[in-house]
Structure formats: structure tokens, C-alpha cells
Amino acid sequence: MSGKKSLWSLLVLALLMSCTNGESPYRFYDWNVTYGDIYPLGVKQRGILINGQFPGPQIESVTNDNLIISVFNSLDEPFLISWNGVQQRRNSWQDGVYGTNCPIPPGQNFTYVLQVKDQIGSYFYFPSLAFHKAAGGFGGITILSRSVIPVPFPPPAGDFTILAGDWFKQNHTDLKAILDGGHDLPFPDGLLINGHESNGNTFTVDQGKTYRFRISNVGLTTSINFRIQGHKMLLVEVEGTHMLQNTYDSLDIHLGQSYSVLVTADQPAQDYYIVVSMRFTPQVLTATSILHYSNSAGSFSGPPPGGPTIQVDWSLEQSRSLRRNLTASGPRPNPQGSYHYGLINVTRTIRLANSAPIIDGKQRYAVNSVSFIPADTPLKLADYFKISRVFSLGSIPDNPTGGGGYLQTAIMAADFRGYAELVFENAEDSVQSWHIDGHNFFVVGMDGGQWSPDRRLNYNLRDTVSRCTVQVYPKSWTAIYMPLDNVGMWNIRSENWARQYLGQQFYLRVYSPANSWRDEYPIPKNALLCGRATGRRTRPL
Ligand SMILES: *[C@@H]1O[C@H](CO)[C@@H](O)[C@H](O)[C@H]1NC(C)=O
Ligand SMILES: *[C@@H]1O[C@H](CO)[C@@H](O)[C@H](O)[C@H]1NC(C)=O
Ligand SMILES: *[C@@H]1O[C@H](CO)[C@@H](O)[C@H](O)[C@H]1NC(C)=O
Ligand SMILES: *[C@@H]1O[C@H](CO)[C@@H](O)[C@H](O)[C@H]1NC(C)=O
Ligand SMILES: *[C@@H]1O[C@H](CO)[C@@H](O)[C@H](O)[C@H]1NC(C)=O
């Protein structure tokens, strides 16, 4: 009885909140995207800068804020920015990938209108077209809780963003040419932390105080390990989920993933290394920054601390230790545990196997044998304007076929309000990282070997993390549960940028027949039109 009552009051509260949504604050950003000289590995490179910055400016927001981001493309190539982890509820129009948006032509601008609806946490944005991500153009996104929502830890004395990842000396057009030529990328030339390889950043802390570090892997091809010399890290948030606060000496962060930790400056006052190093690679490159106590008596002693390198089991164990705090609030005042994801009936199981086929003599990457090729018109626009022969639904199977790879503009159809089980199956020797736009999902299981239905007996149906990017270990599987609660055209992709570029991605079209603004926003008035959508009207006459 009282359970029912509180559920009712939560529903009323939710309704009230959605009605007052228009009241949410607006934040305006004016971005000019240019080429500029950067020297991340000591040699001059042509980086992609945003308002002259590499990495780009931080977006700092609060749950439900409206972000109005005007992007002027001063490059000599078409350009788009996408928002890793921002769910774009009802609004795949703003997702900024080639399947949803026309590129911003050189010398023109486009204004994104996003809302960070019902979200908290740490994310990043990045340039989504061609191989631009290899030149920069990325930056951090912070979504703080609204002041009325309790946060399960005291306010930190400072909030730092760390964007780390591998880096190449070759520029993005040369790297793209290697891939277009049918070859794999070379091994990266370095690792960077906020654009620097070795001690280019200093994070200053006061002894005795506690700080939040939000760390994202913005790299192209490698998993990383993050650690701070002499300090423990309390894991508090993973891609919008408040976690059971376990302590770690170091954390594995796979491509496209974001973590936030609390670090207390509780050591003797000196300088310490902040370290990222490569994981699961034949050669281990490292980048360092400095944790500087404001009353520091001196510099480091000894070399940066080492971390794990090739150990897969260690990483698997660590990722199994990620549990969400069921009693903590998320973006809403109700506890994260009030959504019983494990009790909902699955309406569809989709198994996705990655592979690396050679097609027409060239290296490609595929999922369920399909290697994605873009259409001449963004899929979302083709769908909206009912332009035929751009794509066909069901052009990627729900299960691995075992057959050889083939090229296809792959779209999977899905019903709004369904509840999907997705199993990522990795028969290859490398770690995979998968990201789904527009959704968060529950990571219910991962293990070595082949997935089979009896693996469900060991799923975590109670307190696993809800996130948007998940790794799959070599010769292993990862299973997720995902509510199909966001109508739109959504990119599902490898976060390994060479694999993504060479076809390891597809689109999920979450469809509602209602054709109602409650389910999906209408096409924005400023939508850019291109391909076979050129000249169409974005508003009725
Ligand atoms: C963008 O930056 C470039 C280089 O600084 C400048 O020439 C150009 O006028 C700027 N464009 C806009 C729209 O601010
Ligand atoms: C951006 O584009 C709009 C038209 O879509 C135009 O009115 C505005 O002046 C442009 N801004 C800049 C800085 O070019
Ligand atoms: C979980 O969240 C609750 C409520 O905010 C908090 O009091 C508690 O300390 C958290 N527990 C852990 C283990 O993180
Ligand atoms: C990348 O480098 C090549 C030479 O290796 C050069 O021709 C090309 O213009 C460069 N691209 C950019 C975007 O700077
Ligand atoms: C799930 O399915 C079972 C068996 O078909 C049914 O008994 C149960 O009521 C369903 N649960 C929900 C929450 O729909």
C-alpha cells in the first residue's frame, strides 16, 4: 500500500517536473572551429581547435539545462560535433553524426539545441566526421545535479576534467588515407592528458581537501589505465550512475568511457604523478601530469608508478566490481534502485558479433557481417522526408551469420517501449568498446568464452551500472539490458575509431507510430539539408 502510494507521488512529481521543463535555464556557446598549430608530442601539428583551444572548452551544465551551441566551421572540410553520452531525449536531430545531421559546410554555421534532460554525470563531445577526432576538436561535458537533488558525497573542493587518449603524429587526413587504402593504422605515437604528453598540466590541490576528477578516454585505438601516485581513488560516478563507493589504486578506462573519482590530498605535501598508460598493447606508452599540493615541499621521488599492462582477468574483475548505489539519487530525487531493471521482461534479444573481414581486397570492420557504408543522405532526414532507396529497415540481422563481410547501409528497426537484451560477442583477440547513442543501458554480465542463454543465470539483475559505453574483452561477451525509451535514429558504434570509420557501426531506428511531439520532437527549423533532402521543407506550408 505505502509502496503504491510513494510510486504514485513519484509519478505526480515526474509529471510536474516535465511540465516545468520549459523553465530550465539556457546556456549559450559560440564556437569557432579552426585549424591551429599544436605541439602535443613536441612536433608541430595542425590541430582542430575550438575557440583557439585544444582540448576544446568545457561544457558545464546542470540537469535539464538547455544548451544552445552555435558552431561555425572555419575548416576547409565539412564538419560535425557529436555528444558522447548526452541522450538527446526525443531529439536525435541534434546528435551530430552523419546518420542524423547534414555536415556543416566550410564557412558556415549550425546551432545545436540540446537539452541535458534527466541526466547527471561526466561525458565529452568530439568531431564525428572523417577522421577529425585524430586532430582534436573534443572537450569535456559536466552535468551537475540540480541543487534540490541530494548527491551521495560532500561537495568536492574542486572539479577537474581529464581527457586522455592515444595520439598519432600523422595528421587526420593522412590517417584517413591509410584506412581508405585498406590498411590498419600504425601503433600510436603517444598518449596525451589534456593535450600534453609529459607534465604539461598541473592540478593544484590543498592538503586535506577532496577533489573530483572526471576522466574520459578520448583516444582512437587503445584502452588506458589511470592512477595517481600515492593516492587512492574513490569511484563515485560512471557515465551518469552514482556508484557504490569502492576504492581503487588504478582504473581501466576503455575507449569512449568516462569515470569520476574523488581523491583526497591526504599525503605528505609534495608533487605526485598523475599517470595514464596503455592497456593490452605490445608496447606500453605513458603520459603524466602533476598533482601539486599548494604547500608542496618538492618534486617527485622516483619514476611514475607502473600499472597493469596486459592482464585481462584483472580488468574483468575490476569491471565486475562496478556496482551502483541503489539508495543514492540519480538525476531525479528517487533512488537509482527504484527502477527495477532486472524485473522487466525482455522483448527482444539481439546478438552482435564483431569481425574484421577483408572486402574487395581492403581491410574493413563489421558487426554481424555487415560493414556500414554511409548513404548519400542522412538516414534521419531520409526517414522523415520518406525518401526511398536510401536505406532499408532490417538491413542488419539480429544474430551473427557467420558469413563473410559485406557492405551495407545498416539499419535495425526497433519498437519504442520495447526492452532489449543485447549481447556483444567478441571472437577476436582485441578488446572492443561499444557505444550506443540516445540510451543508457544496464551491463548485466560479461565473461570469457561463448555466450549462451544459460549465461543469464549469472546476470546481475540488481545493482549493476547503467552507462552508455561498454567494453568486451578478447574472446568474451558482454550482455546489456536496454529500455528502448527514446524515439529516433541512433548510432551504435565501435569506439575504436579505425573500426568505426571502416564500418563497425549501424543505426537503430526506435520507432513509434504515434507521430506525436510527446515521443519525438519535430525537425528543427534550422536543420541543414543535403543529399536527396536538399530543397525539402522543414516546416509545413
Ligand atoms: C574564426 O577564427 C578565425 C581565425 O581566428 C577568424 O579568422 C574568423 O573570423 C573566426 N570566425 C568567426 C565566425 O568568429
Ligand atoms: C550563422 O547562421 C545564421 C543563419 O543560419 C546567420 O544568421 C548568422 O549570422 C550566422 N552566424 C555567423 C557567426 O556567421
Ligand atoms: C549510497 O548512497 C547513500 C545515499 O546518498 C549514501 O548515504 C551512502 O553513503 C552511499 N553508499 C555507498 C557505499 O556509496
Ligand atoms: C596532412 O599532411 C599531409 C602531408 O603528409 C598534407 O599533404 C596534408 O595537407 C595535411 N593535412 C592537414 C589537414 O593538415
Ligand atoms: C513477465 O512475463 C511473465 C511470464 O510471461 C509474466 O508472468 C509476468 O507478469 C511478466 N512481467 C511483467 C513485469 O510484465
Pocket test for ligand 4, best of 79, 131, 174, 175 (most atoms within 8 A of CB): 174
Q: Ligand 3 center to residue 324 CA distance, Å? A: 10
Give the ligand whose atoms come closest to the C-alpha of residue 236.
Answer: 3
For the 336-533 domain, the top CATH level (class) is mainly beta
Ligand 3 neighbourhood includes 145 CB (under 6 angstroms):
no
Distances (CA, A) of 536 to 97, 305, 528: 20, 58, 10
Within 6 Å (CB) of ligand 4, which residues are found? 46, 171, 173-174
**What does the DSSP assignment read for 194-231?**
TTBSEEEEEEEE-TT-EEEEEEEE--SS--EEEEETT-
Q: What are phi and psi of 8, to 5 degrees?
A: -60, -45
Which residue blocks in 63-107 are alpha helix, DSSP H? none
Q: Ligand 4 center to residue 531 CA distance, Å? A: 27
Given a contact cutoff of 8 angstroms between Cβ atoms, the answer to whether 253 and 222 are in contact is no
Ligand 3 neighbourhood includes 244 CB (under 6 angstroms):
yes
The pTM is what? 0.95
Q: Where are the domains of the chain?
A: 3-144, 158-320, 336-533
CATH code of the domain occupying 3-144? 2.60.40.420
Q: Ligand 3 center to residue 24 CA distance, Å? A: 28
Q: Ligand 2 center to residue 384 CA distance, Å? A: 25
Give the ligand whose atoms come closest to the C-alpha of residue 243.
Answer: 3
CA-nearest residue for atom 13, ligand 4, is 173
Ligand 2 neighbourhood includes 109 CB (under 6 angstroms):
yes
Q: How many CB atoms lie within 10 A of CB 149?
A: 16
Q: How do the residues of the chain divide into helix, strand and coil, expressed in percent and rounded to 5?
A: 15, 40, 45
The tens place of each residue's pLDDT in the chain, 541 residues long, gives: 334 434 444 443 343 344 345 589 999 999 999 999 999 999 999 999 999 999 999 999 999 999 999 999 999 999 999 999 999 999 999 999 999 999 999 999 999 999 999 999 999 999 999 999 999 999 999 999 999 999 999 999 999 999 999 999 999 999 999 999 999 999 999 999 999 999 899 999 999 999 999 999 999 999 999 999 999 999 999 999 999 999 999 999 999 999 999 999 999 999 999 999 999 999 999 999 999 999 999 988 789 999 999 999 999 999 999 999 999 999 999 999 999 999 999 999 999 999 999 999 999 999 999 999 999 999 999 999 999 999 999 999 999 998 899 999 999 999 999 999 999 999 999 999 999 999 999 999 999 999 999 999 999 999 999 999 999 999 999 999 999 999 999 999 999 999 999 999 999 999 999 989 999 999 999 999 999 999 998 876 5
| CA atoms of 473 and 368, how far apart (whole Å) | 18
Sort strands 233-238 and 247-248 into parallel, antiparallel or unpaired.
Answer: antiparallel
Tell whether the torsion through CA atoms of 381, 385, 391 and 392 is positive or negative: positive
Strand order in the sheet with 109-115: 45-50, 26-38, 66-73, 109-115
Given a contact cutoff of 8 angstroms between Cβ atoms, the answer to whether 510 and 90 are in contact is no
For the 158-320 domain, the top CATH level (class) is mainly beta
Distances (CA, A) of 535 to 104, 385, 531, 532, 539: 16, 11, 9, 8, 12
